[in-house]
Amino acid sequence: MITMYGVIGDPIAHSLSPAMHNAAFKALGMDCYYAAFHVKGRYLHEAVNGARALGFGGLNVTVPHKEAVIRFVEADAAAREIGAANTIDFRTNKAYNTDAPGAIASLEDSGVKVKGRSVLVLGAGGAARAVTYGLLKAGATVTIANRTAQKAADLAAYMREYGEVFGTGMDNLREKVSISDIIVNTTTVGMGQDETLVTADMLSDRQTVLDLVYRPVETRLLREARLAGARAIDGITMLVRQGALSFEIWTGVKPPIDVMERGARDAL
Ligand code: NAP
């Protein structure tokens, strides 16, 4: 019998997750299918219980439900500490956050060491929480710079338990960029528009830029990074890695990353 998996979010129509997970299930000859479900906040609890009752193997949870879902599923320590989960495994009824290790894997698989590095995280929203946590746990020093400086300060205060982290506004961004080894964009700037907070003249060839935005894949920020000779890592690289970690939690099988990546890129 086929085992169902899925992603719940609002909105969800343009999710790349079905394409990447189904590509992996097919390549491995597994009798499984993954679909996207549009779930409004008021039905979140019922949707999770319904999927469990229908015998789903697991669910991904995306914006805006990642925080709310941990109120009624048993989250592991990392998801509790981050305050958000994106993966529910119905075999164990546990929830996890694979965004944090997915971000670290996207850097390390690209040959970028994180431990001991100085990282500038642009943004202080949901994605920044997971990325900052992952970076601190991996031994990086993090500066969170956000348009609303108070949100960066609050997030840094919360994350201080896990490592060396500072929160600031976007002022003197050139200087903040210049003293960082790695710059991670977790803002929505560049999503659907040709805009960037950091330009080539602020970067150098010893730096790495990871942009979480993946629509378009080739953002203005990544173009500017390449122009400066910096290493540029796109949002699909991270999306695929957080997805591969979910896949492994559900099935116990390490999926072929290249197959998932092709599935996601072809669906764009
Ligand atoms: P969010 O919680 O809404 O946070 C948005 C952040 O962007 C806030 O820090 C906000 O600053 C900042 N921002 C928005 N407009 C800005 C502007 N014009 N100038 C400067 N800063 C601005 O969003 P999220 O859930 O963290 O997601 C952020 C992005 O990451 C999205 O594009 C999402 O698709 C992407 N993402 C990718 C992956 C992946 O696997 N590749 C995973 C997760 C998320 P204020 O606080 O000042 O409003």
What separation in Å is there between the alpha carbon of 108 and the centre of ligand 1? 22
213-231: per-residue pLDDT in tens?
999 999 999 999 999 999 9
Among 248, 263, 243, 244, smallest CA distance to 22 is for 263
pLDDT at 231: 98
Q: Give residue-wise pLDDT tens across range 140-178.
A: 999 999 999 999 999 999 999 999 999 999 999 999 999
As a whole number of angstroms, the distance between CA 12 and CA 18 comes to 11
The pLDDT value recorded for residue 198 is 98
Strand ranges inside 39-174, DSSP E: 58-61, 74-75, 87-89, 94-96, 118-122, 141-145, 165-168
Q: What is the mean pLDDT of the chain?
A: 97
Catalytic residue among 40, 66, 115, 254, which?
66
Cβ–ligand 1 contact at 186 (below 6 Å) = yes
Query: Strand locations in the chain, DSSP E?
Result: 3-9, 32-38, 58-61, 74-75, 87-89, 94-96, 118-122, 141-145, 165-168, 182-185, 208-211, 231-233
The first and second tokens of residue 209, run together, are: 């830029």
pLDDT in tens, 39-85: 999 999 999 999 999 999 999 999 999 999 999 999 999 999 999 99
Residue whose Cα lies nearest atom 43 of ligand 1: it is 127
Reported confidence tier of residue 254, pLDDT bands at 50, 70, 90: very high
- Enumerate residues 6+ apart whose C-beta is below 8 A from 71: none
Contact yes or no for 50/59 (Cβ under 8 A): no
Q: Give the ligand 1 atom nearest the CA of 148.
A: 47
The owner of tokens 């039905």 is 43
Residue 176 catalytic?
no
Q: What percent of the chain has pLDDT over 90?
A: 100
Enter the DSSP assignment of 200: G
Closest-CA residue, ligand 1 atom 12, reads: 187
For ligand 1, atom 18: residue with the closest CA: 189
Please write the tens of the pLDDT for every residue from 92-115. Answer: 999 999 999 999 999 999 999 999
Residue 146 alpha carbon to ligand 1 centre in Å: 10
How far is the centre of ligand 1, averaged over its atoms, from the C-alpha of 123 (Å)?
A: 6
* Ligand 1 centroid to residue 56 C-alpha, Å: 30
CA of 30 to the centre of ligand 1 (A): 35
Q: Is any atom of ligand 1 closer than 6 Å to the C-beta of 123?
A: yes
The pLDDT, as a whole number, for residue 85 is: 98
**Shortest-distance Cα residue to atom 4 of ligand 1:** 125
**Which ligand 1 atom sits nearest the alpha carbon of residue 63?**
25
pLDDT of residue 177: 98
pLDDT of residue 96: 98
Q: Is 165 in the pocket of ligand 1 (CB under 6 A)?
A: no
Closest CA to 159 of 79, 81, 101: 81
Q: What is the pLDDT of residue 185?
A: 98
The ligand 1 atom nearest the CA atom of 128: 26
**124 C-beta closer than 6 A to ligand 1:** yes
Do the bridges between strand 87-89 and strand 94-96 make them parallel or antiparallel, or are there none, so unpaired? antiparallel
pLDDT of residue 224: 98
